[in-house]
A = this chain, B = another copy of it.
Amino acid sequence: MARIVCKFGGTSVATTERIAAVAARVKKIADQGHEVAVVVSAMSGATDQLIQWTREVATLQDAREYDVVIASGEQVTVGLTALALQSLGLAARSWLGWQIPIETDDVHAAARITRIADAELVKRMAAGEIPVVAGFQGLSPRRRLTTLGRGGSDLTAVALAAALEADQCDIYTDVDGVYTCDPRIVAKARKLDKITYEEMLEMASLGAKVLQTRSVELAMKYRVRLQVLSSFTDTPGTFVVDEDEIVEQALVSGVTYSRNEAKITLTQVADRPGVAAGIFGPLAEAAVNVDMIVQSAADDGTTDVTFTLPRTDLERALKLLNGLKPALGFKSVLADKNVVKVSVIGVGMRSHAGVAARMFKTLSDKGINIQVISTSEIKVSVLIAEDYTELALRALHTAYGLDAA
Contacts and interface: CB of A to CB of B under 8 A. Distances in A.
Interface in A51-107: 53-54, 56-62, 64-69, 71-73, 75-76, 78-84, 86-87, 93-94, 96, 98-99
Contacts of A19: 57
Contacts of A56: 16-17
Given A71-B75, A75-B71, A75-B75, A66 B83 contact: yes
A50 interface: yes
A20 interface: yes
Contacts of A69: 75-76, 79-80, 83
A50 B68 contact: no
Contacts of A65: 79-80, 82-83, 86, 93-94
Interface in A193-242: none
A34 B380 CA distance: 66
Given A54-B79, A82-B65, A60 B72 contact: no
Interface in A38-56: 50, 53-54, 56
A100 to B, nearest CB: 11
Nearest to A82: B65
Contact of A83 (B57, B82, B94): B57
A68 B76 CA distance: 7
A86 B54 CA distance: 12
A59 B76 CA distance: 17
A145 B81 CA distance: 16
A80 B62 contact: no
Contacts of A86: 58, 60, 62, 65
A33 to B, nearest CB: 24
A93 B64 contact: yes
Contacts of A76: 50, 53, 69, 72
Contacts of A115: none
A361 interface: no
A199 B68 CA distance: 40
A143 interface: yes
Chain A binding site: helix, strand, loop or mixed by DSSP?
helix
Contact of A62 (B50, B82, B143): B82
A144 B94 CA distance: 10
A57 B94 contact: no
Contacts of A87: 57-60
A290 to B, nearest CB: 35
Contact of A16 (B53, B68, B93): B53
A110 B224 CA distance: 42
Interface string A117-134: 000000000000000000
Contacts of A83: 54, 57-58, 61-62, 65-66, 69
Contacts of A98: 98
B80 A54 contact: yes
Interface in A271-289: none
30 contacts: A16-B56, A16-B57, A17-B56, A19-B57, A53-B80, A54-B79, A54-B83, A57-B81, A57-B83, A57-B84, A57-B87, A58-B84, A60-B87, A61-B83, A62-B82, A62-B86, A65-B82, A65-B86, A65-B93, A66-B79, A66-B83, A68-B79, A68-B94, A69-B76, A72-B72, A72-B75, A72-B79, A96-B145, A98-B98, A99-B143
Given A58-B87, A60-B86, A66-B79, 8 more contacts: A17-B56, A23-B57, A65-B83, A66-B83, A68-B96, A69-B76, A72-B79, A99-B144
